[in-house]
Structure 1
Amino acid sequence: MPTDNSRSLAPLPNFQSTENRTSYPLIYVSQAGMISILLAHGIVIEMSNDNCVRVVCHGKFAAFMSGRGTASCIMHKKARMLYTNDMVYTKFSLAPSSDRLAIIGNEGILFTMSHLNEAFLLSSHSKGLLQPTFSIN
């Protein structure tokens, strides 16, 4: 397969096995500097020239981290988590119409569920609120 850029393809001597099946890993480097690594079972790892990393397992999960580490996320069919600006945003969908949401930050933890009309804040800065007591030390 001819190409204009000899660095765009990583030659793999065992691209196909004797059973005429693809052997993994497969590696592709684009002209823009994006590196894609295809692994068995539909797993893809992508790295960009600005050091962003994305891992995808099709139909199961995806994860991303920015090149500077200032943002990251995990997506799953039953949960989503995002970290950015010193805050963690989460959404858990364990059953239909019972989403659980939480935001974790410097001010505390804000949480609610989809069937509730209110959200609750758990914070050490709150005054005048009853602090929960736990029987376990």
Structure 2
Amino acid sequence: MDPRNFPNANPGNGRGPPPPPPNNRLVPTYFPGQPFGSNAVPAGSFGSFTLSSFRNKAHEYEDADFLRHLMNKLQKEPIPRSMRIATCNGYPCVYLCTVGCISVLLTPDVKIDIAVDRSMRITCFGKFVATLCSNNKSASLSHEHATIYQHEGYVYSVFRSDGVPDKQVVIGDDAVLFTMENLNDTFILSKSGHVSPVARRLCAPLKRDITVRQFYSSCEIGARYLDLCHELVSRAHFSTVDGELQVIVNGIHIVHDRNGNVEILSKPRLVRITPMTGAVQMRSTTLEMAVDGEGRGYIISGVKRAHASGTGLVLADGPQVASMDNQGKLITSS
């Protein structure tokens, strides 16, 4: 057999041309320099969307039976392993992880990992990592200026600013605990409005990244979800509306505006980030928290609130308010 008769064959290997690939299901991928909806991706992956069509598609993905429908479909007709996913050659890129989740590379600085239950782990490289679970009861943030951890009804937090002591706050059902790094006492703000000191440190230092463990242990991730993730990735949609990039995958809506800000919506959860400064705001039904690029931040859990800045702490439990400066002096209590 003369290999010259086969232009696609490797010269000298004595083999014919490779067999034609199967009917691949390709991931819609954006290639830099080409508009969305062009022939740079397989026909039918996504089209030129209008704002109304984007909303209609978003409504479809918000259907409560969406994942149940896909699970039933995959149990009856599993996706053949021979089906391949296209290689990502630009941003944004949606791909299937072998650990059983979906990853969205939105920009070189922002990556969003999504579990089948719509839990999210958001990475802003060099700035912060955040996990937001689908149960609205668990969340965590590992930021260069703060660490926040919500677990089993408690919210643990540490706020850090250059040149001032770290501020530590724990919010629970019955009280708010707070202290400073330079203090040996912990103060308790109760619902009655009294601030009581305790001669010991009760707040955890939170010096480790908790987001990884929370995401991989608390969310629906694993090899058993690979087929479902494959289906969800193949259904991902991209569009541009008024200069804004919009991505829909697994019912999660991601918007990257012209100023570089990112908004991630999976009702009732909302995440807003500014990659340039590292500012982040996260909101769920049980918790709202935010940290900016200068160390200021806040936590709101029900009627309890904590605000941290370069000058001190302000705590509140309903109408009861207390504040403390950076030297640990209790300024007001009402």
| Identical aligned residues as a percent | 31
Name the residue aligned to 1:72.
139
Instruction: Evaluate the alpha carbon distance shift between residue 127 and residue 34 of structure 1 in structure 2; reply closer, same or farther with a 3 A threshold.
Output: closer
- Match for 2:27: what amino acid? A
Instruction: Evaluate the alpha carbon distance shift between residue 24 and residue 52 of structure 1 in structure 2; reply closer, same or farther with a 3 A threshold.
Output: same
Name the residue aligned to 1:83.
150
**Contact 1:97–1:114 (CA<8 Å) still a contact in 2?**
no
Question: What root-mean-square deviation, in Å, do the aligned CA atoms of Structure 1 and Structure 2 show?
Answer: 2.9
- In the alignment, the residues of structure 1 paired with residue 132 and residue 195 of structure 2 have an alpha-carbon distance, to the nearest angstrom, of 39
Matched, 1:104 2:171: yes
Name the residue aligned to 2:114.
47
- In the alignment, the residues of structure 2 paired with residue 41 and residue 109 of structure 1 have an alpha-carbon distance, to the nearest angstrom, of 39
- In the alignment, the residues of structure 2 paired with residue 55 and residue 128 of structure 1 have an alpha-carbon distance, to the nearest angstrom, of 37
Q: TM-score normalised to the size of structure 2?
A: 0.33
Bigger fraction of residues in helix:
2
Select 1:17's aligned residue among 23, 28, 33: 33
- In the alignment, the residues of structure 1 paired with residue 96 and residue 195 of structure 2 have an alpha-carbon distance, to the nearest angstrom, of 59
Structure 1 alignment gaps of length 5 or more: none
- In the alignment, the residues of structure 2 paired with residue 78 and residue 63 of structure 1 have an alpha-carbon distance, to the nearest angstrom, of 13
How much does 1:43 deviate?
0.1
Name the residue aligned to 1:57.
124
Q: Which runs of 4+ in 1 moved over 6 A?
A: 126-129
- In the alignment, the residues of structure 1 paired with residue 195 and residue 144 of structure 2 have an alpha-carbon distance, to the nearest angstrom, of 39
Paired residues in the alignment total 124
Bigger fraction of residues in strand:
1
Matched, 1:93 2:160: yes
How much does 1:52 deviate?
1.9
- Match for 1:26: what amino acid? C
Structure 2 alignment gaps of length 5 or more: 1-20, 35-88, 197-319, 321-332
Q: TM-score normalised to the size of structure 1?
A: 0.75
- Match for 1:64: what amino acid? T
- In the alignment, the residues of structure 2 paired with residue 92 and residue 31 of structure 1 have an alpha-carbon distance, to the nearest angstrom, of 35
Matched, 1:35 2:102: yes
Q: Which stretch has the larger CA shift, 44-53 or 91-100?
A: 91-100
Name the residue aligned to 2:190.
123
Higher relative contact order (CA 8 A, sep 6+): 2
